[in-house]
Amino acid sequence: MPRPTQATIDFSALAHNLAVVRQYAPRSRIMAVIKADAYGHGLLHAANALKTVDGFALLELDAAICLRDAGYRQPILLLEGFFSTQELGLLEQYQLSTVIHHSEQVAMLLESKQRVDLFLKINTGMNRLGLAPEQFHKVMSMFKGNRCANTITLMTHFACADDPSEKESVIQQLQYFEMATQGYNYPRSLANSAAIIRYPETHADWVRPGIMLYGISPFPDQTASDLNLRPVMTLSSRIIAIQNLKCGDKVGYHGLFQADRAMRIGIVACGYADGYPRHAPTNTPVLVNNQHTRLLGRVSMDMLAVDLTDIENAELNSPVILWGKEITVDEIAHRAGTIGYELLCAVAPRVEKVCF
């Protein structure tokens, strides 16, 4: 039998979350962000559930080609663009769109004479990727009358849209973008998940939902449930061993948990090599037989321990939910000192993905 650790992907939850995006941005086209193997949910699984969107955005050229080969005809945008002139031929062949964010990409494109759909990214304050305004104007003049720019869309990315105390930062970036692009009548793409929800003035022609599609809140002060988002992934496993402890017995590496009474514990077939966070501490919530219990001691590479003392009918092969609807991935991430994004993306290839 296969190892029992599974990541169950709920297509209906993905479709529901897409409908929520449409409620927030009814007049914008939707470019679903499915980078990093759709945030760990499986590229083709997610694309199938999101097949009614207007476009897809990701990073990896091979993943974009995979989508084309699977029959997806929507625009597919490479968010970091291309890295060599050799890739430009594939962009034209597969009709892939590319972000342009530095002058070297412009030079490669002009030299290659390929015809590509372009998203020109302007750095409005995040200082990660993007053309400075003076570079942007120069690039636009270079593309004027040049056939390599099949279509042009203007874009930027907000650094602090998820922080409720940074509204002024979002407004400043938006104003900076509007000033830089004044006089250019091209489609625009600005809003990520956080901006889609909180800043309708940023919606423009294209919105780029990412984490909200997978049922995770982009905000520290609001839960997914507050936003009517449903978790898409459930990480589950089973009890593969049971130990009976005496008062004073220790559990796991370095004995980080010590029993203060007689206890019954279960060993679960899931560890940090599966994507469960190693730094999750004792008392991190777990479900066994749909009953709430807790993690005990240090998470190992392949296993972790849970408290079965008060769990009715717990036995070998009892089902275990590590995150999902009852216990959100954000709660586990918070306990482990990280964010839900990281946990979703860290689910290991050896974890079987089951879709329904």
Question: Is 35 considered catalytic here?
Answer: yes
Phi/psi for 256 (5° steps) reads -70, -20
Residue 328, both tokens: 């959100």
Three-state DSSP class for residue 267: strand
How many CB atoms sit inside 10 A of residue 155's CB? 27
DSSP per-residue codes, 42-65: -HHHHHHHTTTSSEEEES-HHHHH
Residue 264, both tokens: 């019954």
Catalytic: which of 35, 39, 272, 341? 35
How many CB atoms sit inside 10 A of residue 101's CB? 23
Catalytic: which of 121, 214, 253, 272? 253
Q: Please give the Cα distance from 202 to 83 (Å, whole number).
A: 29
Residue 302, both tokens: 């392949």
Question: Is 341 considered catalytic here?
Answer: no
Contact in structure between 82 and 88 (CB atoms under 8 Å): yes
Closest Cα to residue 179, out of 150, 154, 212? 154
Q: Which residues contact 209 (CB under 8 A, 6 or more apart)?
A: 18, 21, 30, 31, 32, 33, 192, 193, 196
Q: Which residues contact 291 (CB under 8 A, 6 or more apart)?
A: 311, 312
Active site residues: 35, 253
